Structure 1
Amino acid sequence: MDDKRKKIILKEITFWKQNKMLPEHYCNYLIALYTEGEEQLQEKMIKRKKHLNMEIFFSFLFLSMIGISIVITYITDVSFGMQTLFLSFFFFLLIISFFIFRKNKKNLLLIFITGAFLFLLYSVQINDTYFSSNKKSLYILILVNCVTWLLGGLWRRQLFFIIAGTIAVGTLIIFMFIW
């Protein structure tokens, strides 16, 4: 059968499938029959490419949020209120991303890692502003942050946070007693 006739038949079968004129499994069988199995491979490749593009976009977005937060917090001379505004905006973006990822059943680990890093930056920023860079208060705030990582990792069963929280708490306790 020539390609022009196959395309017309496939277009009709796709129309039947979309409008539920035939059961879906019949349409899938006919599509596989006329395309000789190649149609499903192309659909999977297109879906995989869209998924990869979305993952790259969100990875870049979250990494840029971390980079911008570091620049705003430590490199530029921005007031505490403005820094808090930026970090709050980034947390708002993370919350929106969380709901989008959960709705699409995507992996939420990247959102949690970005949120934990922003929370760490915010803890250090609070120490610098309210406690005049006191070492003991910084240790306590970071310890609370690391314990939050550990508890969050246990609660969500995220091995990354369990390991990072455990190592960070152990290291922090050692530094607290040495210095």
Structure 2
Amino acid sequence: MNAQRKKIITSEINYWKQNKLLPEHYCDFLITLYTQGDHEQEISATEAVLSKKKRKFKVRAVLIQSLYILIAFALLGISLKLWTQFFDGQAILLVGFLIVNCLLWLLAGRLLKLLYFTISGGAGLVLIVIFIINTVI
């Protein structure tokens, strides 16, 4: 087995050991087996392929989540801008725009399985209902 392949395998085993994917004594046995008892040159778990993929996935997930939030705020901003430009002073239409935004957030939270959108949409609808009840009474 070539040295590069041994390095990859031992780094993966160290990653498993560090993250407790296998019991420690299994990992020690596998490292001893693949390095043929000469594992003085310990390879860190950060060089593992799984570790690199996990890191790349986290960065991509954060970027996608940030994009979703940015789109939601942009839609809210556009709704409020439309209201101020064309319907200023008509509170019923403002409430309607806010309800539509909250329903879209709730729908996005359900479809995309994003808890923060579901909570935001639900909390927004509850606050709008409380506002309506307070203005009527």
Shorter chain as denominator, the TM-score bin is 0.5 to 0.7
Change in Cα spacing, 1:146 to 1:167, as seen in structure 2 (3 Å) is same
Q: State the alpha-carbon separation in 2 of the partners of residues 129 and 160 from structure 1.
A: 30
Larger RCO (alpha carbons 8 Å, 6+ apart): 2
**TM-score if structure 2 supplies the norm length?**
0.59
Shift of 1:141: 0.3
Q: Which residue of 1 aligns with 2:78?
A: 122
Q: Is the 8 A contact 1:149 1:165 kept in 2?
A: yes
The alignment partner of 1:174 has SS state of: helix
What's the CA shift for 1:36? Answer: 2.5
Identity across matched positions, percent: 21
1:37 is matched with which residue?
42
- C-alpha distance in 1 between matches for 2:101 and 2:107: 10
Gaps of 5+ in 1: 1-11, 15-23, 56-100
**What is the one-letter code of the residue matched to 1:43?**
E
Task: State the partner residue of 2:119.
Answer: 163
Report the Cα offset of residue 139 of structure 1.
0.6
Q: Size of the alignment, in residue pairs? A: 104
Instruction: Provide Cα deviations, 1:44-76, integer angstroms capped at 9, x if missing partner.
Output: 6x959x86xx95xxxxxxxxxxxxxxxxxxxxx
Q: What's the RMSD between the two structures over aligned residues?
A: 3.1
1:42 shift after superposition: 4.6
**Residues 35 and 111 (structure 1), Cα distance of their counterparts in 2 relative to 1, 3 Å cut:** farther
TM-score, normalised to structure 1's length?
0.47
Match of 1:74 in 2: none
| Residue identity matched to 2:45 | L
Aligned to 2:69: 113
Per the alignment, do residues 137 and 37 of structure 1 end up closer, same or farther by CA in structure 2, a change over 3 Å counting? same
Runs of 4+ with >6 A deviation: none
Please list every run of 5 or more consecutive structure 2 residues that lacks an aligned counterpart in the other structure. Answer: 12-30
| Equivalent residue, structure 1, for 2:99 | 143
Structure-2 separation of matches of 1:35 and 1:133: 76
